[in-house]
A and B are shown apart, each in its own frame.
Chain A
């Protein structure tokens, strides 16, 4: 059955074409292209023909294993110790390189290890950098989502008051949002600078010189934390505005009814404000989670994933491999994995926050 939409509507379709065309070309096609590329060995520029390789990209990306390594012993069965008295273990390479007893671990590298008794449990992975970027990304999401959401709510509650000049504060909190993240990242590189950075100077002044400066972005222990702090600061104003919109939909008579019933500030929040913000909370949570998973610009500008891969993330790796190393199929594989993760998490969040 030919509907009116498809037949006698030529000018309508003509009008829709630019929009449809652009969406198809730049969103729909690349989306499915990523799935296809992740199943091939396509490189960005290569004389060799593209081959279909099945799931081997995923296999290489995701394969992990645990090797139990016993400490080295002398002929009498005594455990060898080094000069510090620590046990001595054979190198992981001896298991993962040309060792027929551990063929399944061929080519893997150590990710991290822990000790169970004297036995070292060594987690090895083919693509250690991917696993580091995954854990960094998850760490970033797990910290940023609650902290940024909570902080934004606090700010929204503070500026949702009728005070003189409150708009100035609204503007101040919102300002970082309208500045390009690249510019913000560059500025924060100066703040975090190890030699004469603003943060070092302030901490030194506040502690009367007790604090010795450190290179915030150059130290694997502080680099990710520094980027988390700066990222929370940058986008908190955006989520504050969303919370504020939610706050202003709550009927003032509900607050009046609560005050007549004698609710204190906390009870008013607990019984009136928070339930009224339910839908806003779901929105904020999902938006922050997705934004956090897409962490890229800060890393690219501030650390390039370093030091020692301590700040590398999934999107950064996808770009780095796809374009930096011209391994477009590898980048596509990471993109697909990221897509599936974000999809799963969003669906879990939807399920957990569904209307009961």
Chain B
């Protein structure tokens, strides 16, 4: 167990900078998820922590020690890869014990540690099989077993569930969550899947183009996104963005409107606005409700999708933008009808930038 500190970490491939000064703290025993779209640099960052990519500038500390120039094996980390990276010619037992074999551990120690890892991952019955005889989920379990046996200070996961099918992914996600509870080690987990991020993380780091967009607890990011990118990235269906004009500004909030939206006052949370500027109003689909004449959003229903647990309604607003509303399962809105919606301004977000 250990903490990990990244200070102004940068990475360049020639003239191209892919990690542009990142500061992240991972506390002892914390589960931190790096999330972001493809190409945001999250995997590169993880590989830099692992030592598989060198760090162009900045410092990386693990357990209080600067490890920038240390070999991967000396950093006290273990890594689980998306492609499992288990050795095809070895049995599960040999794979799990690989690190011990390399370090010439005694036979008794090997057996004890492999048995322990197998017990934690409930794969005692798989130990004598070869990887070709295992399913994807079982292979990933072997890879995690190999990581556990190393007894690392920090576990690193590089999109470990991306190669699994949906059902298995959910099972393994829960297993990794349980594993974190039972081992209480620090873990860093890279994914592009926001559900994994939301469910597993103590702390989420949202990355975009090699920069940290926001760091915080999952619900904090969900309810208080720092910017348009984070607001749009987390949550499904994603947040509705409406282009609005600032009509009035006071100490508490700004009043905004557009041709489809009646004036509404939203807390500005310290963000700076100028009168008359174009801004973006964000409202999550879950916080929209159908309304009668008191509704402040006006449009026409163009598509209704019944998912069972909820009904997702696509609305064409009067100004031409599309709005998605996630309503309760019994809400009936016929396609083609005029509809009004309302929302609680306290649950809306106003951003000065426009996408």
Contact = CB atoms under 8 A, between A and B. Distances in A.
A271 B83 contact: no
A276 B88 CA distance: 8
A259 B73 contact: yes
A51 interface: no
A interface secondary structure, majority: helix
Interface in A260-308: 260-263, 267, 271-272, 275-276, 278
Given A253-B81, A267-B102, A259 B87 contact: no
Contact of A262 (B83, B86, B87, B103): B103
Which size class do A's interface residues fall under?
Answer: 10 to 19
A257 B150 CA distance: 12
B79 A272 contact: no
Interface in B60-96: 71-74, 77-79, 81, 83, 85-90
A254 B89 contact: no
Contacts of B98: 258, 261, 271
Most chain A beta-carbon contacts within 10 A, residue among B71, B81, B102, B146:
B102
A278 to B, nearest CB: 7
Nearest to B150: A261
A254 B78 CA distance: 14
A253 B83 contact: yes
A253 B83 CA distance: 8
B150 A253 contact: no
Contacts of A256: 50, 52, 72, 79, 81, 85
B87 A260 contact: no
Contacts of B77: 260
A275 B72 CA distance: 23
A251 interface: yes
B99 interface: yes
A251 B85 contact: yes
A249 B51 CA distance: 23
Given A254-B87, A275-B87, A278-B89, A261 B102 contact: yes
A271 B78 CA distance: 18
Given A259-B73, A260-B73, A260-B78, A254 B102 contact: no
A26 to B, nearest CB: 42
A256 B89 CA distance: 17
Contacts of B146: 257, 261
A258 to B, nearest CB: 8
Nearest to A253: B85
Interface string B123-161: 000000000000000000000001000100000000000
Interface in B97-117: 98-99, 101-103
A276 B83 CA distance: 16
Contacts of B86: 257
Interface in B38-71: 50-52, 71
Nearest to B83: A253
A257 B81 contact: yes
Nearest to A259: B72
B285 to A, nearest CB: 39
A260 B87 CA distance: 14
Interface in A18-67: none
A254 to B, nearest CB: 6
B99 A261 contact: yes
B165 to A, nearest CB: 21
Nearest to A278: B89
Interface string B315-328: 00000000000000
Interface of A: 251, 253-254, 256-263, 267, 271-272, 275-276, 278
Q: Sort A-B residue pairs by CB-CB distance and give the 6 closest, nearest first.
A: A262-B73, A257-B85, A275-B89, A261-B99, A253-B85, A260-B72
Interface of B: 50-52, 71-74, 77-79, 81, 83, 85-90, 98-99, 101-103, 146, 150
7 contacts: A259-B51, A259-B71, A259-B72, A260-B78, A261-B102, A262-B74, A263-B102
Given A251-B83, A256-B79, A261-B99, 20 more contacts: A251-B85, A253-B85, A256-B81, A257-B81, A257-B85, A257-B87, A258-B102, A259-B51, A259-B52, A259-B72, A260-B50, A260-B51, A261-B73, A261-B146, A261-B150, A262-B99, A267-B102, A272-B87, A275-B90, A276-B89
